[in-house]
Amino acid sequence: MRRLLIILTGIMILMGSTYAYSFNGEFNSSDMKVKTSTENSPLKVGDNAVTIELIDAKGATIKDAEVSVYFFMPSMPAMNYEVTSSLDGEKYAAVIKPTMPGKWAADIKVKKAGGEESKVQVDFEAR
């Protein structure tokens, strides 16, 4: 029984480390869902095209917001950048450029047309 518990714990740790630092995901804000995706997972050092989809509480896509991505290296606070996005169909597109490999975090800031602001944080890794 102990051996089974150790094996299951190991599997859970491996699964958590696989997904913990991916930019791809779905995150909940107080009043919306934020879905993020990118072609590279993990992200690479240099240019990475990312898409951000905003979905309100009723399930409708939000297309009239300002979306920016502030990304930084928690271990090196001076390594921080901010990029804006542009609406591309029903999703927002941006390019983020991690400058070195390691663990990064991104604050996705959303300012809706009515002035309401929301933010979600995404932890990711660059290689």
- What is the model's pLDDT at position 114? 84
- What is the model's pLDDT at position 29? 87
pLDDT tens figures, 44-68: 999 999 999 999 999 999 999 999 9
Whether the pLDDT of residue 9 is over 90: the answer is: no
As a dihedral over the C-alpha atoms of residue 21, residue 25, residue 31, residue 91, rounded to 10 degrees, the angle is 120
Q: Which two tokens stand for residue 105?
A: 């975090």
User: What is the band of 43 on the pLDDT scale with cuts at 50, 70, 90?
Assistant: very high
Q: Which domains does the chain have, with CATH numbers?
A: 22-126 (2.60.40.1930)
The DSSP bridge partners found for residue 61 are 55
* Gap between the Cα atoms of 121 and 34, Å rounded: 10
Q: What is the DSSP letter of 10?
A: H
Whether the pLDDT of residue 20 is over 90: the answer is: no
User: What is the band of 93 on the pLDDT scale with cuts at 50, 70, 90?
Assistant: very high
